[in-house]
Structure 1
């Protein structure tokens, strides 16, 4: 499944990253962008929609949007391909500006393959919010089993015909959350640093799976977890506190440590040499973040 998602990102990047990572005049339109014949065809057939976002100074950017799931209750779920216009690159730019010179170069390509998952209607109606980690975890706990999460974690395709619509929606979001973690976090030049990397005998998606394991095994313990980012009193993204993962209390840490190993039988996305080569070539052809380079 994750290899298939990789091919989708590859196509989006090949077809649209060049226009996406440029600032265009507010008067620019699709016809004036010099898109390839393939990219134009994808737009003409409605496989891809183009979203315009004005960024000030008389400029705008064009963002490609691809539907990845059709929910019976909540309409289309889609990914907005952001590349260097996404949150990972935004956070990398802040670190770049604050870092000593010897560290600056490590942030220059972070977020090159970033995307945003839009399933807002489901999360707005059920949880009065957007697709945050906390809302995703709550949704999974409400509608799906641990074994179903484990199947997605293992990269098994979701058989939507065999499950109800709520399970279908929740598991689809989880699969893209796992994939996003694998793609944008780790130890490669274009990834934001993570303790959960193959050099440490982890998969990047182990970060997400550790919290799910905790939640299903001991909901009271999960609810007491202290290291969440918050906005207006609402939990959003789990962190590991000021001491980092190494200082995490063992009562929480054990759920992550139990996932360690077995990279041969259950590999990270970037244990696959062909996938590494594919993304390395995409990275090389695009180059560093033009805002920072």
Structure 2
């Protein structure tokens, strides 16, 4: 029985961890390629959840179609956010860009409360109540979908970065922006594609996780906090670090919540940040400027 409980907690942690990975990968992608810390990243997670809700309610789309439309819609908003809040400040001090992202986060949060309302909402999904049994481990189909889609998306992202011309330009920009520009790389296009991918990943996470809990306009603060914990744990700019860090955080939180207390599970992320910053400030994988 104890073994079954342990496996259940680990499974729950891996699913939660995949959510963190999707959020953190967008954060670390923007930092790794563009050297920008984006505090507004969590708000794109929030928009992904709300766009899914309204696409289903107002357009009458099924859950899968609504999630796809929401992800694409928020990715397009990423283009606008880049053009208005980040690209014009690319030559300014990093602190100026950070403040711009913080202002964007506040704008989106308050705008979300004005447009969507402050009342929590629930995204209906046909997978939310159906159960999958793997031996004696039980989970809903929605949670299984989160893990499966997250894994597929990460593989596709890896292949895109490693084996496409745009991926090579992104890696060149991450290593040396000035040198990349001198060799003919269109830095503006790299900025645009990076924000499309990052915002799309955040929105996808919101669309997938939305049916497992209530959504509200301030949920982005939770998302960006988890994302930063994972990014610090794995190393700024490291996508493999985001993957392993996110899954590890999810499992540790689940085990702590199951065997100690739920309150401790929420605090453990902060403890991890402190320990990692004291012991290895560049993160466990130590590739702060690589993708």
TM-score (norm 1): 0.28
TM-score (norm 2): 0.28
